[in-house]
Every structure is written in structure tokens, then in C-alpha cells.
Structure 1
Amino acid sequence: MKKLAIGILISGISLGFLFWKLDLSGFANIRERWEPIYLLPFFAAIIWGLSLFSWRWYLLLGKRIPFKTALLSSFIGVGANQFLPARGGDIFRLYLCKKDSDANYGSLVSALFLEKVLDFAFIFSAGLGAFFLLGIHQDFVRFLLPLVGIASILGVLVFVRFFHKGIASLGEALFSKVGKGEFFRSKLSPLVLELGGFLSLNNAGKHGLLTGCTWLFGYGLHYTLLQYLVGIHLSPMETVFIMFCGAVGVMVPSAPSGAGVYHASITSGFVLLGRESSEGLVYATTVHLGQMVSLGILTAILYTYWSFTGKERIPAELSGEKD
């Protein structure tokens, strides 16, 4: 409850600052350039992007759950993230997978952790790369900053790949000094070891490629279609940069779905691109509202379907059954 209150406060401050400082005239001009025909392909793009997301989730779990379960849990979980605090939809996704399969929570949490690492590594590298290629306010320092950022991300992943066992041992020793050795050993060490074992060239290449396709041809597609919806057009490289800004926005503690912080982050991206701040706020509001409405409808439909058709499994350890 305390984290939710802090998040709502941060969102409230962000929204207050935006409406206080920015020119809202862009909203008045939406009717003149509104093209509702793009709502249908946007909705289809949401489904396509989440299908790619679901397929990656299925592969990260080693195909230990049915693809139908991976698909339903992904759609419902991502939709729930729009309304639940602290990315609660991800927890809900784990619950749905556990309920409809024999997968244990350890493997589910490890897969979720790998998913976040892949998303973070790709979108930050892509965003910093776009920042560099677009030449946004580049002096000598800003010229090097994106390259250093990308090299740092790749360097950390390579370091974890080759020294994950040593990192786990060192972490356990350090946590033991403050009386948290068992916590690190049971909760964090498995994640470090899982990540190190996962980061082979084959896995990184295969899942990295799928992650790139999910962002560029999934999320990027619906970001692009909404530009046509409100008549605000960006180049493909600018769209990647704005997606990066949006991703940064939802990482900051805020109200459910990143309200306020998400808008401020995308608006800042527009300003960096030399565009009007009012355009950025209109675009951020359109993307945010479009995602919330589309995902809300899909989540309601699919959760109702899952409620009536989902398996009612009880883990063997709870039912008293033994193999």
C-alpha cells in the first residue's frame, strides 16, 4: 500500500507539471486530423505484438507449458499491468501458468527474470543507438554516451555469462555479512546462475532476435499506426527512440500503467527530437489510452474465457498426493 501511494503521488506530480507547463492546444486540433480508420489495424497490431510476446514466453519456459496457456497468461497479464500497481500483471501471469500447468514457481520466476533482462538489454541498446544515429544535441560527451551505454550493457551480460558462479558466491558472502545469506542463496543466486547459463551464443541469438522482432515489428507497429491516427508522424528511427522513452517511463515507480510518468517521458523525447511538447503529450496520451482500452477489452474477454475453460489443478503437495 505504501509503494502504491508513493507511485500515485509521483504520477500526480508528473501530470500536474505537464498540465501546468505545457501548451494543450494540440488536443484541440485532434478532430481536424483524426483518422479513426486506423483504430482497426492498431487493434490488430496489439494482438500481433502480444502473440510474439507470448511465443517468446513459451520458449523461455522451455515449452514446459502448453502454448495456449502461454498465450492466455501473456495477454491477461500484460492487460492487467495496465490496471494493477507494481507490475502486478506479471505476478498474475505466473499464477495462471502455475494453475494451468505442472511448471514450478522457480522456473516461472527465472523465465520472467530472463524476459526482463532481454527486454531491458534490447530497448536500451536500441534507444541509445537511435539517440546516437539521430544526432540529438550531440557534443563530444553526448556523442560517446550512447556508445558507452550500449557497450556497458553488453559488457555486463558477457561478464555474467563467464563469471556467474563467482558472482553468486561473492553475493552470498556479502549478504551473509548482514545476515541475509540464506535470502540470497534461495532467492537471488538461482536467478544469477540461470541468467549465466542462459547467455550462450545460441540462446542469446535466438531469443535476442525474437525480442527484437517483438519490439520493432510488434510494439513498433502499433506505435506507428497511432501516429497516423492523430496525424503526428515520426521516422522509424524516431519511433524507436520514443519507444525507448516510453519504456523508461514505465520503469519509474508510478500509478498503474505508468500514468503521468509515461506521458512525461515521451513528451521529453519529443522535445529532444525538436518537436513541439504539445505534440508529445497528445501522442503519449493517445498511445496510453489506446493501449489501456484495447488491452482492457482483450483482458476482460480472455479472462472470462479462461475462468470458464481453465483447468482447476491443485498441486500434489497441497492435495496430499505423492508420485
Structure 2
Amino acid sequence: MDLATDMGHLEELIEAIRSEGYDFSTGSRMMPSSDVKRSMKRGLASKGFNFLTRTMLGSKLYDHQCGFKAFKRESLFELMDSVEDEHWFWDTELLVRAQRSGYKVKEFPVKWQHGGATKVDLVKDVIGMGSQIVRLWWQLSSLHTGRWQKGILTFILAILLLFLIFTLVGVEDVWQAAASASPQMFGLAVLIYLFSWPIRGIRYQHILKRLGYNHGLNFITGSIFMSQSANVILPARIGDVSRAYILKTKKDVPLTTGMSSLAVERLFDIIAITVIGVLAVLVVMAERAVDDWVMPLMISSAAVIILFFVAIFFMASRGRNGLSPVERIILKVSKPGDYTDRIAGIARKFVDEIYTISSSPRDFIIVFFSSLMIWTVDILTCYTVLNAFAFVHDAASPTTLTAVVFMAVAVGNLAKMVPITPGAIGTYEGALTVVFKIAGIAGYVGAAAAVIDHIIKNSVTLVFGALYLAHFNIRWHELVDIKGKNEK
């Protein structure tokens, strides 16, 4: 006990439980009338934590961490089994669960003065307390909507987006266009799309090999299929986390390497898509007017790539003491110790692994051109689907039509970077429909082609993802159970 809270508040603390009928009573350093003296570092950390707790966990309290608390014995014991944390987050979780369960909680302002050295460790506290807030938010939200129900809600959003697109271009026209299209061309599109997957596997195999982990192409390709299947069904690209989990559990690849290798893969995807998009826009602009937002989108994407490379090269550099900037930042804001050293080491490894691929001309060329091949096959799939519809070639010259398809898929996949729906369903179709109009393709034809293109790609992903799940004896809930991943 550090007696930071003025003991003059002790009677109010006890009487709230004994005579006022409250189940929990807590002093508050964050209420407007509180009298608090503490360092800026401690104040900022506390304000940030309590803001997140109020925002994410729906708490109505100002302060959750003040140690000046009292509990009614019966109420405390009723909640004890549901509280999972056994460290600094324990009292916060208790107060949040108490409010959720309908218990009466009194919060009152106190006079508080910190004495002695601060125990705040920014890095450790941000990671530890932040992860506990996310964990409790997930558990509490699951109680009300259920994990699968949350997935259903985002799926409903995707359906609504598709319905909006179809309504704008004509539902009956879309249906008639799809019904009159060539099924043989759709079959050809499936075969073409399948060619992209071995290339994906070879690319990712090369990335992992350069990072010191050499595994068979079948396993690597399978892990991509499985993680992309999760991305199709779940929002927020959760499948990317699943791939790191698969690599860790099946091949003992560190989670840091799993995430850094994914970062490299995503980076080169964006580079390839942006290069393709910019070249396609320039070709189209020679014959057609392009919407004002298209080129700024490509320029913004290119700017993000450049900034990312600048940041990686800077963060991977070494000072005279042999430390990288990311290590110096962590060590400066955090207290010395094994935990801080471990976090600094993880951050350094993450940055170094991305730098390893990005800074090597040979690796850059291999990963970049394999990414170009992957997205070229993806675009050829869409081009084949579009050619299944009659009169498409009457809308524009072959050069313009081809360039527009390249541009459409590039824009559609950049839209996927904002994963508001499972598999970007709805956003991808909307982007393609809008860009197809630049070539003079009717909206209903563009919408039908976009939907079928996405169905083909997602179906191939899900079918082979399911086959690989069975092959590697991985259950579906293991792939999508985020809580289970964190615990393991």
C-alpha cells in the first residue's frame, strides 16, 4: 500500500458499501473535481488506458486503476470466477464485468498524490494492458452477438452493398446478362486462375527461405489457401493471422517471422498492383477520359509504398551503439529489463526481416516479378470472365478494353485494403463496375462480370482451402479462433 490516496476518503469508501447499498466502491483520479498530482508520463498513460476502456468496453467510470477500492463480499465472490486476469488488469476487468452484470458501482473523486518512482513502463503497459482490453472486448461482444453472428453481420453488409450496386444498374438486367454469358468462358477462367496459386506458393517459399525457413511447396501453397479461405469468410483480413498461426503450429516458424513474411508479401502485392494500375491508367488516358479520382488513388498508393520503404530503411539502420532506431525508441520509453529487451528484440527482428527482402536487388526482383505474374493471371481471369458476355468488344478498342480490365482489377484490389466485409465482397464488385464504365461497358454487364469474377476466385480459394484443411488435419475453428491463437 503506497497511501497515494488521502485517507480522509476512507469513510466515504466504506460507507458506500455498508450503508448506501453499493456493491463496489472506487476512488477516482480522473473526475473533474479530483485533486491529483503526478508526472506527465503517468498521467498520459492513465488517460489513454481509461479512454480505451470507456470506448471499447462501454464502462461509465472515469478511472479504473485507482487502488482505492472496496467490495461487498457476496458481490465480489459472484464475479470472481469470470475475471480471468491475475495482474494489473484484474480490478479493471472486475469493474467492467460488474457494470455489465448490473451491480451498483460508486465512483467518487479523491485527493491523490503519487510519491516515489513511477512503475509505469510504456512498452510493457501498452502491450499488456492493451491486449487485455482487446481480449475482454472480444469476450464481451461475443456474449451479445456471438462470433459467428458478428461474421454474419459483416456478410449482411456485403449483401447490402451488392444489392445497392444491382439496384443502381438494374437487377433484371444483371440477371439476364449473367444468364446469357458463356459458361465455357467461365470454366476457362477457373483454369487460368488456378495457375496463380503455384506462383503464390513459390513466391512465399522464397520469402521464407531467405528468412531461414525452407519448407515444401505443397505445404506453403496449402497454408496460403487456408489463410485466404479465412479472409474470404471473415472480415479484417483475419486469415493473415491464421497463416502465421499455421506456420507456428505445423512448422515451428516464429510468429514474428510469420507476420514479417506476410508484410513483405502484402507490400509487394501493393507495389505490383500500383505499377499495373498506373501503366493501365496511362494507356486508357490516351483514348478515354478517366475519372478524376483514379490517378490520385494510384499516386497515393505509390506515396505510401515510398514512405514505407523509407521507414523500413531508417528503422533497420544501426547507430554507433549497434542499436536500430526502433530499439532505441523502445528502450527510451520503457524501463530496463528482460521484458523490454525481448520486445525490442522482436521489433528489431520484424524490421530486419522485411529489410532483408526489400534491400536485396536479387530478392526484390524475384518477389516483384512473381507478384506481377500473380496479378497478371488474376487480371487475365477477369478478362476471360468479361469476354463471356456478348458485345463487350463493341464498347472499346482491344487495347483500351484490356487496359481498363487491368485498371479495374488494380483498383478493386486496392479497395480490398480496407477490409470492411468478408473477402471485400461488395467493395470489389463496386470498384470493378465503376471502372468498367470507362470502357463504355454497360453497368449491368460490368456488375454481372464483377460478381462472377469474384465468385470464381472465392470458390477456388474455399474449395482448395477446405481440401488442405482436411489434408493437414486442421479444424476450421482452429483457423478462425483468434482467442485460441493468442493463448497459444
Q: TM-score, normalised by structure 2?
A: 0.54
RMSD across aligned positions (CA): 3.5
Q: Which residue of 2 aligns with 1:26?
A: 174
Distance 2:205 2:187 in 1: 27
Shift of 1:76: 2.2
The aligned length equals 304
Distance 1:189 1:249 in 2: 31
**Pair 1:116 & 2:266 matched:** yes
**Pair 1:260 & 2:426 matched:** yes
Distance 1:271 1:305 in 2: 43
Counterpart among 137, 146, 152 of residue 289 in structure 2: 137
Aligned to 1:307, the other structure's residue is in SS state coil
8 Å CA contact 1:65–1:103 kept in 2: the answer is: no
Q: 5+ residue gaps in structure 1? A: 309-323
Distance 2:191 2:295 in 1: 39
Counterpart among 209, 224, 239 of residue 383 in structure 2: 224
8 Å CA contact 2:189–2:381 kept in 1: the answer is: yes
- Give CA deviations for 1:198-230 in whole Å, capped at 9, x if unaligned: 2222221121111111111x2123222222334
Q: Which residue of 1 aligns with 2:481?
A: none
Identify which range, 6-15 or 189-198, moves more after superposition: 6-15
Aligned to 2:316, the other structure's residue is in SS state helix
Counterpart among 174, 187, 190 of residue 40 in structure 1: 187
Q: Which residue of 2 aligns with 1:128?
A: 278
- Distance change >3 Å, CA 174–CA 101, structure 1 → 2: closer
Q: Which residue of 2 aligns with 1:197?
A: 356
8 Å CA contact 2:268–2:368 kept in 1: the answer is: yes
Code of the residue aligned with 1:291 in structure 2: it is: K
Q: Which residue of 2 aligns with 1:173?
A: 329
The aligned runs of 1:43-122 (5 Å cut-off) are 43-62=190-209, 63-122=213-272
Distance 2:302 2:235 in 1: 33
* Structure index of larger Rg: 2
Identify which range, 201-210 or 51-60, moves more after superposition: 201-210
Aligned to 2:472, the other structure's residue is in SS state helix
Distance 2:177 2:253 in 1: 51
8 Å CA contact 1:248–1:265 kept in 2: the answer is: no
Q: Which residue of 1 aligns with 2:76?
A: none
**Pair 1:215 & 2:371 matched:** no
8 Å CA contact 2:241–2:259 kept in 1: the answer is: no
Code of the residue aligned with 1:265 in structure 2: it is: A
Distance 1:86 1:147 in 2: 22
Q: Select the structure with the greater relative contact order (CA < 8 A; seq sep ≥ 6).
A: 1
Distance 1:100 1:20 in 2: 46
- Give CA deviations for 1:46-79 in whole Å, capped at 9, x if unaligned: 3211110111111110152222210211222223
8 Å CA contact 2:158–2:426 kept in 1: the answer is: yes
Aligned to 2:420, the other structure's residue is in SS state coil
Shift of 1:119: 0.5
- Distance change >3 Å, CA 264–CA 189, structure 1 → 2: farther
- Distance change >3 Å, CA 147–CA 20, structure 1 → 2: closer
Shift of 1:189: 4.8
Q: Which residue of 2 aligns with 1:11?
A: 158
Q: Which residue of 1 aligns with 2:310?
A: 159
Identify which range, 182-191 or 258-267, moves more after superposition: 182-191
8 Å CA contact 2:166–2:447 kept in 1: the answer is: no
- Distance change >3 Å, CA 175–CA 263, structure 1 → 2: farther
Distance 1:76 1:97 in 2: 11
Aligned to 2:251, the other structure's residue is in SS state coil
Distance 1:13 1:177 in 2: 46
8 Å CA contact 2:416–2:428 kept in 1: the answer is: yes
Shift of 1:174: 8.8
- Distance change >3 Å, CA 8–CA 304, structure 1 → 2: closer
Shift of 1:286: 0.7
8 Å CA contact 1:4–1:254 kept in 2: the answer is: no
Distance 2:163 2:184 in 1: 32
- Give CA deviations for 1:81-112 in whole Å, capped at 9, x if unaligned: 21122222222222222233232222111111
Code of the residue aligned with 1:251 in structure 2: it is: M
8 Å CA contact 2:290–2:438 kept in 1: the answer is: no
Distance 2:411 2:353 in 1: 29
Distance 2:222 2:373 in 1: 20
- Give CA deviations for 1:15-68 in whole Å, capped at 9, x if unaligned: 343233222313213333x22223433222232111101111111101522222
Code of the residue aligned with 2:464 in structure 1: it is: L
- Distance change >3 Å, CA 12–CA 51, structure 1 → 2: same
Distance 1:245 1:263 in 2: 10
8 Å CA contact 1:157–1:199 kept in 2: the answer is: no
Larger helix share, 1 or 2? 1
- Give CA deviations for 1:253-302 in whole Å, capped at 9, x if unaligned: 32211122222111121234443222221111111222222222222222
- Distance change >3 Å, CA 207–CA 67, structure 1 → 2: same
Shift of 1:161: 5.8
Distance 1:128 1:277 in 2: 23
